[in-house]
Structure 1
Amino acid sequence: MRNQPQIILPCLPYIILSIQSILAIDFVYNSFNSSSISLYGNATIESNILTLTNDTSFSIGRALYPSKIVTKQENSSHVIPFSTSFIFAMAPNKEYRPGIEGTESSQNLGLLNLTNNGDPDNHLFGVEFDVFKNEEFKDISDNHVGLDINSLVSEVAHDAGYWPDDDQAFIPLKMNSGKIYQVWIDYADFQINVTMAPVGIIRPKRPLLNVQLNLSQVFQDEMYVGFTSATGQLVQSHKILAWSFSNTNFSLSDALITRGLPSFELPKDPIFKEKGFIAGMTVGLFIILLVGSLVSVYLIKNTQRRKREREEMEDWELEYWPHRISYQEIDAATKSFSDENVIGIGGNGKVYRGIMPGGEAEVAVKRISHQNSEGVREFLSEISSLGRLKHRNLVGLRGWCKKERGSFILVYDYMENGSLDKRILGL
């Protein structure tokens, strides 16, 4: 018993070239009506499309060719070759959730039950298109095609898909996506081939399943041919859009219409409902909030730092020219006030030659002692005069620094030929 709806060809016929014309059968259905096919269970015809199952759980739908088909040569066990092709779609239900392990199985493809499963008296041959992995029947995956003989345990199975060409990689096909696929099934010379591909694609040369198989003990002289399907707890609609069968013409499948077919794919959710979009927006919003928080912290700290600096300023700093230069920059420019950089000595301190970090400017640095009132007055005098005045004949004051418990420092533009010494120290 299968938990997911299935499409299966329960029994299929066979022919040899010496067969009488009364045994020949060929038909093509590019649309369906109640007079052309027999319906059972929940199977219906909707807009000329054969619909085997609907959104009813634990239900069965079956559609068969109205009469039995002769499958063996007269007075012989030899099975007549046959070829069939059909176009199908598995239309997913909006609430469908594939691959739920452990769900109880349903109606055994609408064909068998646990009592007769595997019984050789079933005389059943089917090709299953299964979208549920049922451990009970040793399914290989939740999206596979298998050959069944009198049992729901497949003789051979393969994941659904196709090879575009012999030397190209296998392309998997998700059967319960609502997309439309075409299937070809041929039997001749004890060889069964099952091929599938998206509708409209030329039949791939390499079949999905290729198996040596003698159906003489499976088939009776006359058999029904058709489709059966079932739903379990998880439901979806199985639709047959076209079907051909022949035991005389293996190219009859070319008569199936493959263009202008309806779509059964569920409409995609708006982008704002898609998981990827939601995840992306969540991550993006988190990053924006994080960056915003970091910027806010930086601005707050920067504002607090400036506030502290202003609070630390003395009245004379605000009155004159508060262009501070950090002690670290001055220390680096003068190589820690190295004696080799001394270019002059005055009563209140030394003058050093230096290069500001980055090599941006050559400067003269005057270090004034903080221990006597004369030094403080000289420091304030320089700031109040040179700090406010700009003239080509005056030495340019770049800035100043007041080192705690140390000294006042003035930074000037450096002038060549000793003129700086004379202007600063009066030498």
Structure 2
Amino acid sequence: MLLHVKLICLLLLAGASLAACTAGDGNDDDHQFVYSGFTGSNLTLDGAAVITRTGLLELTNGTLRQKAHAIHPAPFRLRGGSSSSSTATATATATRSFSASFVFAILCPDADACGHGIVFFVAPANHSFSGAFPSQYIGLFNGSSDGDAGNHLVGVELDTDQNNEFRDIDGNHIGVDINSLTSINSTSAGYYDDNDGGNSGDHGFHNLTLASHGEAMQVWVDYNGTAKQITVAMAPLKMAKPSKPLLSSTYDLSTVFVADEPYMVGFSSATGSFNSRHYVLGWSFAMDGPAPAIDIDKLPKLPRFAPKHKPKMVEIIPPLATATFIVALGTVSVLLIRRRMRYTELREDWEVEFGPHRFSYKDLFRATDGFKSMNLVGVGGFGRVYKGVLQSSKLEIAVKRVSHDSKQGMKEFIAEVVSIGRLQHRNLVQLLGYCRRKGELLLVYEYMANGSLDKHLYSEGDKRVLDWDPRLQIIKGIASGLLYLHEEWEKVIVHRDIKTSNVLLDSEMNSRLGDFGLARLYDRGADPLTTHVVGTIGYLAPELGRSSKATPLTDIFAFGIFILEVTCGRRPIMQVPEGEQHVLVDWVLEHWHKGSITEIVDTKLHGNYNVDEVCLVLKLGLLCSHPLSNARPNIRQVMKYLTGDMAMPELVPTHHSFHTLALMQNQGFDSYVMSYPSSTASMSAMSNNLSAQR
């Protein structure tokens, strides 16, 4: 009897050792795991992530702007291990090979309005995602941490939204990410079929749509530590792994991962302004070998997730229906149609008094070819902008289609229509009209052929570098537009969001100030009302954090930052190689005191500029961005300085020598947080977020 008890104990110990080897504890050489469904698993979950009763790993549930993470509980050592042998020493200096496979599904009612995706990542075990943002940051980074080499993070993104900030190739792509969501390599989603091409060996490529309607797909991620190569393959469910990968990149991950440090593997996901859900059905991982096969037959089923259909017109009455039924149905149909027509023709009081020309939805739909992605020219926090051509007049237009859940909302929409709809100035973007249909808000502008100014200042593509003379004319043009807003229109209009991305250029490179969604107007002589502080960090005047009152002088501060940005070719908050952030105005002021002002002019100009004009503009930028509001000039004085009709005063170093960044932080701002998505949240909300990050 005692012998039997000992045998049972030995068997239990052997089973426990085998289980520990399978799960992986970060110390063994044969780490691997496989989940064919997640019932009973002990994954580390945060955010919106849950494991459903059916065994699905549900990362997001359709709620807007949420993030989620799911992490395998046991870490792995990707580099290193203590050993005295020379072979072990060589292994310790290089990243070991690893492989992963997973089955996923992204469910969206509309594949053209889906976001933002799933990322399989490998990150340090002590890495925190608490400060990460949802939406385009997919729960991995925020505006300051994206691109930081200290992340030591590698990911493979399945992205269903095209974001220009990260130079995405389209809204349905796979990318390899190293410490940033700007992928080192990416390609449109799809797979190579080994059965195509006959004997030629030419595998046929087939597209796949990541935002599926109930269809799961499988992905394989492999890193070859010897060849220093990352490969990604994908295929429809139940298809074998293609022999030809979809994506292949050569990259030594030993430059990313830290030796002898434990690393975690998991998934990150996020939603933005559109209703979408992200699921993982199965997952496997292995070190130094292929990931174990996932048992497809044991995977849980996806939930039904179809778009909500709008009420349809009643079908034609069957010929055999009774006359009474036909009459009753006809009466009800007439009443419903008349009710809908009354709603369509409804005009609110403010529309009658202020509204410009109203376009029909049908005309805008045809002009933009059904709002197809090929006509998408911009994406912002207030919605998407599409290029179109009116069929009747052949006029090129830009249509801003405001999202249903946009933070702008009806109140700000009305403000934009009321203000810009009546403004007429050569340096303001002209609002041609608007449309309201079934809750949709659409604004129609004249089309600016050369896009926004920031694309020309920072583009590394084929765009021609802006010479100095056009830059000076752009500055003068925006100053002229501000003079009209502040002093020449019937009321005072404070724009509140002056920045290079809101300055548009027409076909002749004339500058136009646009996006009046945050504008505030009040009667001349009246005191500006206290309101939420909105705008973009870097352009916000320091006194806003104290008074919360937007005035023409807060616009002047943003205009001063704008001047410095156009002249120096640098963003208001600059990232330096050491990982720190410097404020542009402090950097310019430092060089001004040193007498080395020409060293900060945009290097892409190669010295081809008028030194006197550059000094004048930089001095004016410093004066306008003075931290003390009463030391700033008004816009009429600015125009006189630019035209040479008035001599500029000398800067007083003692009043302008303290750091703007420190002042902003003391007032409740934080330079590390860019407004998301266009900084319409109040600064108090920003401060709460910052407190949570710390």
TM-score by length of 2: 0.34
Q: Call closer, same or farther: CA 1:160–1:60 in 2, change over 3 Å.
A: same
Match of 1:154 in 2: 183
1:183 aligns with 2:219: yes
SS at match of 2:204: coil
1:24 aligns with 2:30: yes
Q: Indicate if the aligned counterparts of 2:175 and 2:184 stay in contact, CA closer than 8 A.
A: yes
- The superposition leaves residues 368-424 of structure 1 with CA deviations (integer Å, 9 ceiling, x where unpaired) of xxxxxxxxxxxxxxxxxxxxxxxxxxxxxxxxxxxxxxxxxxxxxxxxxxxxxxxxx
Please list, as runs of the form range in 1=range in 2, the aligned pairs for 1:35-46 lying within 5 A after superposition.
35-46=41-52
Match of 2:262 in 1: 222
1:163 aligns with 2:210: no
SS at match of 2:165: helix
Q: Call closer, same or farther: CA 1:228–1:71 in 2, change over 3 Å.
A: same
Q: Call closer, same or farther: CA 1:187–1:267 in 2, change over 3 Å.
A: same
Q: Indicate if the aligned counterparts of 1:125 and 1:149 stay in contact, CA closer than 8 A.
A: yes
Match of 1:91 in 2: 107
Gap runs ≥5 in structure 1:
1-19, 278-427
**d(CA) in 1 for partners of 2:136, 2:169:** 19
Q: Indicate if the aligned counterparts of 2:32 and 2:291 stay in contact, CA closer than 8 A.
A: no
Please list, as runs of the form range in 1=range in 2, the aligned pairs for 1:271-350 lying within 5 A after superposition.
none
- The superposition leaves residues 260-281 of structure 1 with CA deviations (integer Å, 9 ceiling, x where unpaired) of 75245645899x969xx9xxxx
**d(CA) in 2 for partners of 1:112, 1:261:** 31
Give the Å deviation of 1:255: 3.7
Match of 2:64 in 1: 57
Q: Which has the higher helix share?
A: 2
**d(CA) in 2 for partners of 1:77, 1:87:** 32
Q: Indicate if the aligned counterparts of 1:200 and 1:259 stay in contact, CA closer than 8 A.
A: no
Q: Which has the higher strand share?
A: 1
Give the Å deviation of 1:77: 2.3
Q: Higher relative contact order at CA 8 Å, sep ≥6: structure 1 or structure 2?
A: 1
SS at match of 1:163: strand
- The superposition leaves residues 74-127 of structure 1 with CA deviations (integer Å, 9 ceiling, x where unpaired) of 2522111111100000112x4775279xxx982611010010110100101000
**d(CA) in 1 for partners of 2:114, 2:107:** 16
Q: Indicate if the aligned counterparts of 1:29 and 1:244 stay in contact, CA closer than 8 A.
A: yes
Q: Indicate if the aligned counterparts of 2:158 and 2:174 stay in contact, CA closer than 8 A.
A: yes
Q: Indicate if the aligned counterparts of 2:285 and 2:291 stay in contact, CA closer than 8 A.
A: no
Give the Å deviation of 1:202: 1.0
Match of 1:237 in 2: 277
- The superposition leaves residues 25-77 of structure 1 with CA deviations (integer Å, 9 ceiling, x where unpaired) of 11110121464211000000112110101111110110001132111132522
**d(CA) in 2 for partners of 1:64, 1:250:** 20
Amino acid at match of 1:36: N
1:82 aligns with 2:98: yes
Q: Indicate if the aligned counterparts of 1:244 and 1:256 stay in contact, CA closer than 8 A.
A: no
**d(CA) in 2 for partners of 1:108, 1:240:** 19
Match of 1:208 in 2: 246
Q: Call closer, same or farther: CA 1:105–1:141 in 2, change over 3 Å.
A: farther
- The superposition leaves residues 282-324 of structure 1 with CA deviations (integer Å, 9 ceiling, x where unpaired) of xxxxxxxxxxxxxxxxxxxxxxxxxxxxxxxxxxxxxxxxxxx
Q: Indicate if the aligned counterparts of 1:96 and 1:236 stay in contact, CA closer than 8 A.
A: no
Give the Å deviation of 1:169: 2.7
**d(CA) in 2 for partners of 1:43, 1:86:** 16
Identity of aligned residues (%): 36
- The superposition leaves residues 339-376 of structure 1 with CA deviations (integer Å, 9 ceiling, x where unpaired) of xxxxxxxxxxxxxxxxxxxxxxxxxxxxxxxxxxxxxx
Gap runs ≥5 in structure 2:
1-25, 82-88, 116-132, 195-200, 316-694
Amino acid at match of 1:85: S
SS at match of 2:241: coil
Q: Call closer, same or farther: CA 1:201–1:113 in 2, change over 3 Å.
A: same
Give the Å deviation of 1:251: 5.2
- The superposition leaves residues 11-34 of structure 1 with CA deviations (integer Å, 9 ceiling, x where unpaired) of xxxxxxxxx972321111012146
Give the Å deviation of 1:211: 1.2
**d(CA) in 1 for partners of 2:185, 2:38:** 31
Match of 2:287 in 1: 247
How many residues are matched?
252
User: Could you say which structure has the larger radius of gyration?
Assistant: 1
